[in-house]
Amino acid sequence: METIQNFINGQVSASHSQRFSPVFNPATGEQTKQVVLSDEAETTAAIIAAEQAFPAWSKTSPLKRSRVMFAFKALLETNKEKLAALISSEHGKVLSDAMGEVTRGLEVVEYACGIPHLQKGEHSANVGTGVDSHSLMQPLGVCVGITPFNFPAMVPMWMFPIALATGNTFVLKPSEKDPSLALQLAELLKQAGLPDGVFNVVNGDKQAVDVLLTDHRVQAVSFVGSTPIAEYIYSTASAHGKRCQALGGAKNHCLLMPDADLDMATNAIMGAAYGSAGERCMALSVVVAVGDETADQLIDKLKVQIQAMRVGPGIVDGPENDMGPVVTAQHKAKICDFISTGEQQGASLLVDGRDVLIKGHEAGYFVGPTLFDNVSPEMTIYQEEIFGPVLAIVRVPNYQTALELINRNEYGNGTAIFTRDGETAREFSENVLAGMVGVNVPIPVPMAFHSFGGWKRSVFGPLNVHGSDGVRFYTRMKTVTSRWPASVRLEDHESSFAMPTM
Ligand code: NAD
């Protein structure tokens, strides 16, 4: 059976670890590979490789670094289908969705290609007589990325293209559930001309992560994953003096107003709730419907569309399925438990996805689209992130109650409003407590040249990923104030012991 190894100092590095984690094809339930779980020495070796590569890479001109990014972008485009198939075979998502994920990562690479411009500092002439000031945005050193299973290509590419382009070196610790993509990205970076040691991949679990969080050579940690782990990563990395951005879980609400275009909203909600089997941090898992009539009409329309959904493997000959399996047998069991709890706690289970059976794929981890009505805020299915194809409808009497409900939720990643009324949409955008807001847009994921991140317990740390926040996260500002002898001679040159003012 194939073993997924590490990638250290420009080559695949065979691990001596005796610990492994199985990698499954979620569509068949078969174990197809295993991945090494690196020990302390192997993880440290990756950090050291990155540390040794830093001086030369950080002094490489931004133009040359951006040329590596241009070459990497071209290689991603050439290999897009192959990468998407690999994602689907370990994650389960359908091929077109996997292609979309690669594209969203590639867009961050395109943004990083502009680094000679993005990393320019500021300059002020004559801040005092003959005195100039300029700022430098210098790289930090060894940066680390720890990433979740649900976007094995896109989430690492939220991080390392900007980290590398700004002159840092990088160690990526991908999810052990779908680790192959990271090694492919490492190979493509090498082909693109990235020097050895600048980008390294360490596979592993908590043991490897704890080394990355505490090693004195690591300067910054980017994390994306569930909230309890994000909180742990943020507090541990910060306690060890590292800069940290840690993005956590979500429970994204959509507010459906009675005046919304219901057909448009239904199509949008279907894709946002059930796309990628609900395993997206920006998935819509709660619809807050204003008025019983709005809820009833939505449910009628959703039921028709759910009935027509094609659930099956992510890669098929012929017409593509709408939704693939979830990632592991354990995750399927957890989602099914949530559905049972929802029923027990009194929510109305309108469509039950627990018993879906796919012919020829009976052992696959499939959960069908599931729909609950009459969900209330004290229920477990409302409070917890299910991360599966389960949509909850909460009925409220008016807009204000809906807004207060959304704002009370512990998470604040994304949210959306469906309405035809500009005043309501503006009021909502201004007052909702969430980091990413859609107006008649169900999944408002910012483009690469904006920054991505939530509010409340969906994020720990002040700077979001990619866009200008990404550039700021991976650089530190130095401001140089200079005066040359000619300008000194213009003034009386005596020592001054007062606070300098210009
Ligand atoms: P996870 O938190 O289980 O794992 C994320 C990473 O942390 C993995 O690399 C894993 O190996 C590591 N890890 C797990 N347990 C650890 C521990 N005890 N100590 C140290 N490291 C540990 O998340 P997941 O299940 O892979 O991904 C799904 C979660 O990620 C969901 O909660 C989802 O909302 C979230 N997510 C958030 C965003 C966002 O932008 N906010 C994006 C994608 C996913």
Q: Can you list the alpha helix ranges (DSSP code H) found in 25-153?
A: 40-59, 62-78, 80-91, 95-112, 115-118
Residue 307's H or E segment, with its range, is helix 292-308
Atom of ligand 1 nearest to the CA of 148: 26
Would the pLDDT of 255 be above 70?
Answer: yes
Question: What is the pLDDT at residue 495?
Answer: 77
DSSP 8-class letter at 194: P
Say which range, 246-255, 352-361, 483-492, has the weakest mean pLDDT: 483-492
When the pLDDT of each residue in the chain is averaged and rounded to a whole number, the result is 96
Does 493 have pLDDT greater than 90? no
Residue 59 lies in a domain: yes
pLDDT digits (tens, 9 = 90+) for 161-189: 999 999 999 999 999 999 999 999 999 99
What does the alpha-carbon distance between residue 331 and residue 148 come to, in Å, rounded to a whole number?
A: 14
Distance 355 CA to ligand 1 centre (A): 27
19 part of a folded domain: yes
Do 140 and 70 lie in one domain? The reply is yes
Provide the pLDDT for residue 455.
97
Residues acting as catalytic residues:
281
* Judgement on whether residues 65 and 183 belong to the same structural domain of the protein: yes
pLDDT, position 490: 63
The arithmetic mean of pLDDT across residues 401-428, rounded, is 98
In the structure encoding, which two tokens stand for residue 21, read together?
């984690």
User: 171 to each of 202, 206, 216, 351, how far by Cα in Å?
Assistant: 7, 15, 14, 44
In a domain, 374, yes or no: yes
Q: What is the pLDDT of residue 488?
A: 67
What pLDDT score was predicted for residue 460?
98
Phi–psi pair at 475, nearest 5 degrees: -135, 160
- pLDDT tens, 260-317? 999 999 999 999 999 999 999 999 999 999 999 999 999 999 999 999 999 999 999 9
Enclosing H/E stretch for 154: helix 154-165
Residues 326 and 373 occupy one common structural domain:
yes
17 and 166 inside one domain: yes
- Say what the alpha-carbon torsion angle 491, 496, 501, 502 is, to the nearest 10 degrees: 10
The rounded Å distance from CA 298 to ligand 1 centre is: 33
pLDDT of residue 492: 59
CATH number of the domain within which 109 lies: 3.40.605.10
Amino acid found at 418: F
Q: Is residue 189 part of a domain?
A: yes
495 belongs to a structural domain = no
Mutate which of 149, 252, 326, 383 to test ligand 1's pocket (most atoms within 8 Å of Cβ)? 149
- Domain interval for residue 332: 252-439
**306 in the same domain as 216:** no
Please check whether residues 199 and 320 belong to one and the same domain.
Answer: no
Let me know if residue 391 belongs to a domain.
yes
Indicate whether 284 and 223 sit together in one domain.
Answer: no
Total domains in the fold of the chain: 2
pLDDT in tens, 4-14: 999 999 999 98
pLDDT mean over 54-63:
97
Q: Are residues 74 and 187 in the same domain?
A: yes
Nearest alpha carbon, ligand 1 atom 42: 281
Q: CA 59, CA 55: separation in Å to the nearest integer?
A: 6
**Do 189 and 46 fall into the same domain?**
yes
Q: How far apart are CA 171 and CA 201, in angstroms?
A: 6
Q: How far apart are CA 435 and CA 461, in angstroms?
A: 13
pLDDT at 316: 94
For residue 365, what is the domain's CATH number? Answer: 3.40.309.10
349 and 464 together in one domain: no
